Structure 1
Amino acid sequence: MILQRPITRAWHLRESYIEISRYIRVQLQQRRTASIHPSRRLTLCQRYSSTTTARDDAGEDLNEGRPPRFPGRDVKTTRTPNLSKEQYQSLARFERSNPNSLPSTDHPDDQNHVQIFGFLTSQRSIKGFDFLQLVDPRLELAVQVVLATATPAAPKDGQSGQQQRDDSDSKLESTKSENRDSLDTRLNVAESIKAHTPVQIVGSIVQRPAPSKKGAWSKPSVGSQDGSQQREEKHEATVRKLDPFVGMVDLISHVEIRAHSIKVLNSFPPDTIAQCDTAFPPELRHLQFRTDHDLRYRIRLRAKVSAKIREHMLRMGFDEIETPLLFKSTPEGAREFIVPTRKKGMAYALPQSPQQYKQVLMASGISRYFQLAKCFRDEDLRADRQPEFTQFDLEMSFAGGTQVMTAIENILVNSIWPNVPNIPPLCNPDLKGPSVIPNHSPGLNSWTFPQLTYETALSRYGSDKPDTRLGSEIHRIDDWLPGHVKGMLTSLDDPIVEMVKIDMQGCDPVESGRFIKSFLDAPSSHVYVRNVDGIPGVAVYDPKKPLTGLASFGYDGAARVEEHFHPRPGDIFIVQARPKARFVGGSTVLGNLRRDIYQAAISQELIPAPSGFSPLWVTDFPLFSPVQESEPGQGGLAGICSTHHPFTAPKQGQDLSMLVTSPLDVIGDHYDLVINGVEVGGGSRRIHTADMQEFVLREVLKMKPERVEDFRHLLNALKSGCPPHAGFALGFDRLMAMLTDRTSVRDVIAFPKYTDGQDKFVGSPSALTQGQLATYHLTFTDGPADNSFSPSPV
């Protein structure tokens, strides 16, 4: 809330000098004009003042077709423009809405007199008083404003009632003359001002009486020197309260404002209902902010966390360097946004990441770089993906993956988690139970996140970004599963058969059976029941049934299941076959099935959602992967692409001749950070020699020569004695969604895009005009642009 000291006498004196100076300048200007145009009649400049006549207050100038009076302008000599009455009124309203034009208080040296700004929300009238709730510009703090309506005053001694009324009317007219833009205090403000109206109030701070209820706020002792007592009283001086228009606010409970004048700075549409329980579409994003306290909290928390990251990085010796957003098209692995120019055939590309620039910085002697970078990828939108996103980017020279992972752990533990209120701690997801990460000293790292290799993560969890809080590891059972059961599951020759137990935490077996049946019958599960490698086998552990519901495994198989998995009644067993081949991609069918069954059981409240945060490093990814038709890759002709990007170095200790003989077997020195099943970031040790980098581009990926030349700037920098370096990029939007317990990154972005890539607030992207097409030398080859959007919710 903005509280300002009253305008002092020195300020009044300064204003007087300004007015005198303005008067003299205008007189000199009029004399010069008269010497040029002798026939023009000289007039005195009307000195602008914050006080006006009652006639101006009534708006009679506008009714007579005269222009509004503006500061420092000779109204009599100003030539009247050809404006309509509505245009005059619009100009006048804008002039009156200037917050600096409100007259000062009658008692400039009184400590209790204040000017205060904010939004009026709740309003009520009781027994001759209007009680207004004023919320500060941040929509976080509120104070009660009291406006007394006019009541007949008792006559003074020796004065008649008629004389008293005459004096009262005279004072009233004087007040209206001095406060032409202020509300008449005799009016019922609750009926004349709509909620969400921005106002400026001049008034006095008045102590509110202490409530009589036990445990309620009591009047703080004045002049207390005890700092702890003052802090406690300050905490008790506000009450958490739901404002029906803006959400939760902290109401100042020990003082209120007795308003002398209220000035409306702008109006709120009378036909709009904006309350905190109103659901506004994305086209009214500003009203979403105005009425949704949680949305404002998330956006402000985002600003706070980014500030703490910057503070930490600067303290650790990193330099924040901004890299260009107008880049060039280079095949890094994702589709790009192209920015055409007026030069025919020439275009920029928006960067997928600052990857190449930050590697050039390592070759330039900038040893530690970081940036909160804007990145752009023309990809299909999902709940965790936006075409325009922010990533926390860093790079370190003379360092490897271990040093970078340590730096990221320190940022999370020391700078991010301590600054998020009421957040569960980071935990160590070992098989013996979670252990809370101890508090770290800045710059120290006595506890490291657990690590899993890519192969281990897919074998145990069926995913390269597993949520280890769920437990339920996958186990191979093909060595003891009866042959006839394998034949029922799949037609593959010599398959790998795996099983996972879904811990239903004591759910009734009958309820578990109904749940898994409805899950597999749902249309979203067709991908599982129509799997070409075989359908999933399902069993529910029920001690009341023969062989406890595991009869399909046979007598020996049921005994092995009980011995190995230690099931409880209601637990669900899923069996799935897959080909005996190397892992490709980020998940297996059984891994996806494990994830989706847990999510469905949690959403139906059959089991509680896991709590806490479980960080995990996943390492040793394949350096190259087979090309997928749905991915652009790097445009090479070898049929393979870089798993992450073509700048990742092979893990040390390997036979580098495999880059030519069997590139799919080469392990990259890459590491992903996974928290609660979400990949929040990834990094790698980079190729730091030009010969090796060009060898990968030409001989391994088999890029065309012209595409290799697209990287010539990077190759030249690597040739110039570039030191070894490694880096990391953390998805800031995904991290903030996780910290605020949101499923979509849209909820932590001020102005997000939706599933069709459209910013519904401003209406982008927009259709190109014929003039723009001509300017940028563009033509349509497949007919006119498609301006229709059919958004679907994320």
Structure 2
Amino acid sequence: MSVSRPTRFHQLRDSYVQISKYVRAQLQQKHPSPGVKCASLCARRYSSTVALSDARSDKGSEAEVARDGAISTTSQRWSRLSEKQSACLKRFERSALNGSRITTWDSLASIKLDTDKQDAGAVTICGYITSQRSAGKFEFLQLVNPRLDRAVQVICSKEKMKRPAPGYTDDAVNGQAQPRNIETEIRGHTPVQIIGSVVRRAAPPKKRGQAESIHHLEDQQSSILDKLDPFVGQIGLLPHVEIQAESIFPLNTFPADLVAKCDTAFPPESRHLQFRTDHELRSRIRLRSMVASKIREGMLKKEFDEIETPLLFKSTPEGAREFIVPTRRKGLAYALPQSPQQYKQVLMASGVSRYFQFAKCFRDEDLRADRQPEFTQLDLEMSFAGAEDVMAVVEDIVRNFVWPNVPNISPLRNATSTEASLEGQNWSPQEASKFPRLSYEDVMTRYGSDKPDTRLGSEIHPIDGWLPDNVVSMLTSLEEPIVEVVKIEMKGAHPSAAARFIRSFLDAPTSALYSNNPAGMPGISVYDPSKPLRGLASFGHEAAARIEESFEPEPGDIFIIQTRARAPFAGGSTVLGNLRRDVLQSAISEGFIPAPTGFAGLWVVDFPLLSPTEESEPGQGGLAGICSTHHPFTAPQKGQDLSLLITDPLKIIGDHYDLVINGVEVGGGSRRIHVADMQELILRDVLKLRAERLEDFRHLLNALKSGCPPHAGFALGFDRLMAMLTDRASVRDVIAFPKYADGEDKFVKSPSLLTAEQLATYHLAIRDSAEAKAPPPVSIKA
């Protein structure tokens, strides 16, 4: 019997069967029977659930432990603080505002409540608590708005005053509430946030002798009751509503031992309290802001671009002493700008046609009532323009953007008018066409000053040849002097009273300079019909007769005769001009003459381009013995023989113009030199600046060489303007933080001493005064 050999097919089939058995056996080991499989799955699910529950339990325990640890850590941190530190942090935590929906005072003033609606709903409002009073179970508080110009009455029960506001606890930081009595923390000037409801208020009874007036808001129909708050001064009380307080949050405290009322006089060191208690000071500063915004509005309408120029400049000899700012680079320093003059001329060469800015300027000069070491000026410049263009812009800004926006201001009037006050009339642009113009020669001749207050009258008159030679020789030792006289009208004062007044004036220590001046002492007589030659005998018979005929004096009028050298005018005033001004001011202060009112604008033009320097006034530091009357960039007027610049420079008239209002020089400007060669000639050949000083202006000369167009500009002293508008004698009264004697800021106590580290950083050393040389004198003409 033969055995057949297996085919390839059978071999493959047997291999497949064996492989299948093997795979099934392996699967059987991994996956048991259905019953076993179900039990195993349940066991696995149970164990997973238990594990998850245990994990969650563990995590909860960990969170509790972490929280307990955090609390313990926080407590430990606070326990390490001193009592003072802890109290400080808690007070600060309470001082934050609560909530974001704060009711505005404008919306509060606009609330209308009729007889049917007594409650306007809940409000959250902020301000200062000032006066407060008790009545029965209630406390009546006066809440003043953050601007300190409006107020509303707040009513709060005494029970609520003694109960802390929600969240207002002594331990607000760590959450352990310890009630605090906020009634003890609310004193005058306390800033607070109040939550309550607005209700209708009955008309308050008017106290006897209380000065109050009611007016309506311009943009609302609500009435405002003007009254004097004893803490902050004049305020407007909202008389138709009041607030019933639910919660009061003091946001800070005011010292209990500090009396700060509107009749308290604070020194400059407490400037912040001056602001808080003096409503007139606040009004002046706000008026300053408003006038600045109106001027800016006008300049932008005239297509001027407001461009800021750098404050870190370089030292250049413009005429005033500079403030130097040292740097860490040895031997190098900046200088604060006396004005943006050079930068704005470079802007004209850069293609900017009309520029302006409210510029900060710095000059290291002695302080006066109208002068600060740092001051603000409205600075402007125009390309392709001359003096007439600039004067027209400035006059329009003053007339149409300043005066109409200053409340209770008297109108402009002609500068040569000496008539009675125009107070009470409404100003309109049609009242006067333009400010009158007088030349420098005219104002010096007629008023003895280049910035006269023309409202006062009392012009100066020459009387050469009127007085006998022996009388003139008693007045002065000058050869062939100019003799001048001024009549002070005493408005009907008795001659004896006028004589006592002028005698007292001359005896005052401040008048010693008039009796001892180099030009000679003044000759003074009082017109008195009861005396020989009517009181003018000291002038001689002929002079007395001519004076009486020419001036038609009234009894009590004072005549002052003064001599001066026969030479062209120089500087800003004469001896008689200063004496005239001071006598008139003294007569006004003592009630002999009524104080002038209204505003008198005047352009003073035709100043000499150059003036002789004195030993104390070297000007630009040149070697020619002359200096620029304005600054070295002023152009000479057209139509003159410019060869005189080299042969007789003092005869050249500059294209320079000053704006004078009420005796205050509020600004000045000029047409500029726009040709580089001409500017260099003035600096080098006329002023004779040293070569190294000339190079200080190389940046400007290079700009002028680049096709710079003709241009002119002006600088309006904004501080002086505001002092004049608010009738203040000193610019300090219209500056938020002014400087006082020696340029000191008494509030922050600057300037301060340099430390050794600062001296080393800036490569500086302090020399003893004996070793230090006296600083060079500097011109004040700029």
In the superposition, the TM-score normalised over structure 1's length comes to 0.81
- Structure 2 residue 165 is the aligned partner of structure 1 residue 201: no
- SS in structure 1 at match of 2:540: helix
Q: Name the CA distance, whole Å, in 1 between partners of 2:750 and 2:420.
A: 46
- Structure 2 residue 310 is the aligned partner of structure 1 residue 301: no
- Structure 2 residue 104 is the aligned partner of structure 1 residue 95: no
What do the CA deviations read for 1:380-425 (whole angstroms, capped 9, x no partner)?
0111100010001000111111111111110110001111110111
What do the CA deviations read for 1:157-192 (whole angstroms, capped 9, x no partner)?
xxxxxxxxxxxxxxx99x8666547999x9986654
Cross-structure match for 1:556: 542
**Paired residue type of 1:551:** A
**Paired residue type of 1:782:** D
Give the drift of 1:525: 1.2
What do the CA deviations read for 1:296-316 (whole angstroms, capped 9, x no partner)?
111111000001010110011
Give the drift of 1:236: 6.1
Residues 454-533 of structure 1 mapped to structure 2, 5 A cutoff? 454-533=440-519
Cross-structure match for 2:303: 317
* Alignment CA distance shift 1:510-1:230 (3 Å): closer
* Alignment CA distance shift 1:206-1:546 (3 Å): same
Cross-structure match for 1:130: 139
What do the CA deviations read for 1:319-364 (whole angstroms, capped 9, x no partner)?
0000000000000000000000000000000000000000000111
Give the drift of 1:605: 1.6
Q: Name the CA distance, whole Å, in 2 between partners of 1:403 and 1:445.
A: 21
What do the CA deviations read for 1:535-584 (whole angstroms, capped 9, x no partner)?
11111111222221122333332221122111111000000111111111
- Which of 230, 237, 253 aligns to 1:251? It is 237
Q: Name the CA distance, whole Å, in 2 between partners of 1:438 and 1:149.
A: 52
Q: Name the CA distance, whole Å, in 2 between partners of 1:551 and 1:44.
A: 110
- Structure 2 residue 710 is the aligned partner of structure 1 residue 724: yes
- SS in structure 1 at match of 2:743: coil
Q: Name the CA distance, whole Å, in 2 between partners of 1:593 and 1:396.
A: 39
The RMSD of aligned alpha carbons is 3.2
- Structure 2 residue 619 is the aligned partner of structure 1 residue 633: yes
- Structure 2 residue 745 is the aligned partner of structure 1 residue 759: yes
Cross-structure match for 1:121: 130
* Alignment CA distance shift 1:640-1:212 (3 Å): closer
What is the number of equivalent residue pairs in this alignment? 685
Cross-structure match for 1:161: none
Cross-structure match for 1:139: 148
Residues 124-203 of structure 1 mapped to structure 2, 5 A cutoff? 124-150=133-159, 180=169, 191-203=184-196
**Paired residue type of 2:731:** V
Q: Name the CA distance, whole Å, in 2 between partners of 1:113 and 1:459.
A: 71
What do the CA deviations read for 1:447-492 (whole angstroms, capped 9, x no partner)?
1111111111111110111111111111111123222322222222
Q: Name the CA distance, whole Å, in 1 between partners of 2:97 and 2:228.
A: 28
Q: Name the CA distance, whole Å, in 2 between partners of 1:539 and 1:446.
A: 38
Bigger radius of gyration among the two? 2
Give the drift of 1:77: 5.7
* Alignment CA distance shift 1:421-1:406 (3 Å): same
Residues 362-377 of structure 1 mapped to structure 2, 5 A cutoff? 362-377=348-363
Question: Which ranges in structure 2 are unaligned for 5 or more consecutive residues?
Answer: 1-54, 104-118, 208-214, 773-782
Contact 1:196 1:268 in 2 (8 A): yes
Give the drift of 1:440: 6.3
Give the drift of 1:233: 11
Cross-structure match for 1:713: 699
Give the drift of 1:102: 9.6
Q: Name the CA distance, whole Å, in 2 between partners of 1:784 and 1:123.
A: 61
* Alignment CA distance shift 1:602-1:135 (3 Å): same
Contact 1:334 1:632 in 2 (8 A): no
- SS in structure 1 at match of 2:128: strand
**Paired residue type of 2:87:** Q
What do the CA deviations read for 1:730-752 (whole angstroms, capped 9, x no partner)?
11001101111111111111011
- Structure 2 residue 646 is the aligned partner of structure 1 residue 660: yes
Contact 1:452 1:616 in 2 (8 A): yes
Give the drift of 1:755: 1.3
Give the drift of 1:79: 7.8
Contact 2:437 2:603 in 1 (8 A): yes
Q: Name the CA distance, whole Å, in 1 between partners of 2:129 and 2:66.
A: 38
What do the CA deviations read for 1:84-128 (whole angstroms, capped 9, x no partner)?
2321221111111111269999xxxx9510001000000100111
In the superposition, the TM-score normalised over structure 2's length comes to 0.83
Contact 1:182 1:262 in 2 (8 A): no
Q: Name the CA distance, whole Å, in 2 between partners of 1:561 and 1:197.
A: 67
Q: Name the CA distance, whole Å, in 1 between partners of 2:421 and 2:383.
A: 33
Q: Name the CA distance, whole Å, in 2 between partners of 1:774 and 1:114.
A: 58
Contact 2:413 2:432 in 1 (8 A): no
- Structure 2 residue 570 is the aligned partner of structure 1 residue 570: no
Give the drift of 1:645: 0.5
Give the drift of 1:431: 4.8
What do the CA deviations read for 1:126-164 (whole angstroms, capped 9, x no partner)?
11110000000110100000012349xxxxxxxxxxxxx
- Which of 758, 766, 776 aligns to 1:780? It is 766
Contact 2:204 2:239 in 1 (8 A): no
- SS in structure 2 at match of 1:722: coil
Question: Which ranges in structure 1 are unaligned for 5 or more consecutive residues?
Answer: 1-33, 47-65, 68-73, 152-171, 215-228, 787-794
Cross-structure match for 2:398: 412
**Paired residue type of 2:134:** S
Q: Name the CA distance, whole Å, in 1 between partners of 2:218 and 2:621.
A: 64
**Paired residue type of 2:201:** R
**Paired residue type of 2:144:** V
Q: Name the CA distance, whole Å, in 1 between partners of 2:497 and 2:303.
A: 57
- Structure 2 residue 707 is the aligned partner of structure 1 residue 737: no
What do the CA deviations read for 1:181-217 (whole angstroms, capped 9, x no partner)?
7999x99866541110000000010101246889xxx
Q: Name the CA distance, whole Å, in 1 between partners of 2:190 and 2:81.
A: 28
Give the drift of 1:631: 3.1
Q: Name the CA distance, whole Å, in 2 between partners of 1:559 and 1:784.
A: 60
* Alignment CA distance shift 1:41-1:92 (3 Å): farther
Contact 2:165 2:248 in 1 (8 A): no
* Alignment CA distance shift 1:341-1:322 (3 Å): same
Identity of aligned residues (%): 65
Contact 2:102 2:126 in 1 (8 A): no
